[in-house]
Structure 1
């Protein structure tokens, strides 16, 4: 936890993540979908600074991104878990330096984060559908369903199961692929920087 305790200002580099998410550079996108900047920052940080620092950074980063995009879903639990997992790998396994390993870890992390968001949206859709039917009353709900109208349309707008199975899956695959392609270059540079800084403090 050397990076977090000895130089907490380095953790302020996480503020670049929401800025990059909001800027969403078009030339760094695949099919209109940008990379998962949170994974590209958190992966090298956790590998170099350990599980506790990785979990804290993941939680803080998730809460920061939730503030940028308020809604019924959160990225904090998945990023906390990823930070802890990658931090354990960085402490217990041989140092991860290969580009393929970084790309694979980024791919798995982005897929896990995307799947947790899809699951939350799906549960939100199911809950809002039940609430809409209860608010509409059993008679109106039966009439709407008999006419082929989804009572969930009465609820708050959001992702539906059909959206998740179509566009949602396309977004997940595009983001996972572009993140895995960028990870070997971006994560390698960050990992080298964090490790050099950490080793310099330990001397």
Structure 2
């Protein structure tokens, strides 16, 4: 595993995700849909800290976010899978540094998270008409992909510096 999980303040930044989810700033919405703050935090974390830490962070973040929502659909499977996948990308390939790459990974991650929630709601019978869910999926994917180059780049640079100093 990496070194970020050993730094208390790095892990504490994950507490911003439920706070931003609850605050839901109106300025950062597209069609009334906020970005996926979990994806924006988990992407740089997993890229820097690796697949095991990314999966555990995704699991923990999913459990916290599931506690905020009343629905029966869970974010845990998709976030744990994304954390593991992004962690493998960060360990195996060329370091991801380009804004376009971060935006594309955030778009794919938000799409996977939204599709997972849509499928769970559909199977549970809670979502008979999927048009509203598709609107939410598309809007959330787009706004997250637009914010990712800025927010993920800042977190990625900071956490890579911490990992180099502590590693």
Band of TM-score, shorter chain: over 0.9
Deviation, structure 1 residue 10: 1.5
What is the distance in 2 between the residues matched to 1:71 and 1:170?
18
Q: CA RMSD in A?
A: 0.9
Give aligned pairs, total. 166
Moved over 3 A (4+): none
TM-score norm. by structure 2 comes to 0.97
Structure 1's unaligned 5+ residue stretches are 126-158
Counterpart position of 2:48: 48
The reply on whether 1:172 has 2:137 as its aligned counterpart is yes
Counterpart position of 2:159: 194
TM-score norm. by structure 1 comes to 0.80
Q: Which of the pair has more CA radius of gyration?
A: 1
Structure 1, 66-75 or 27-36: larger mean CA deviation? 66-75
What is the distance in 1 between the residues matched to 2:135 and 2:70?
22
Structure 2's unaligned 5+ residue stretches are none
Deviations 1:45-79 (A, max 9, x none): 00000000000000000000001113211000100
SS at match of 2:63: helix
Counterpart position of 1:160: 127
Deviation, structure 1 residue 167: 1.2
The reply on whether 1:58 has 2:54 as its aligned counterpart is no
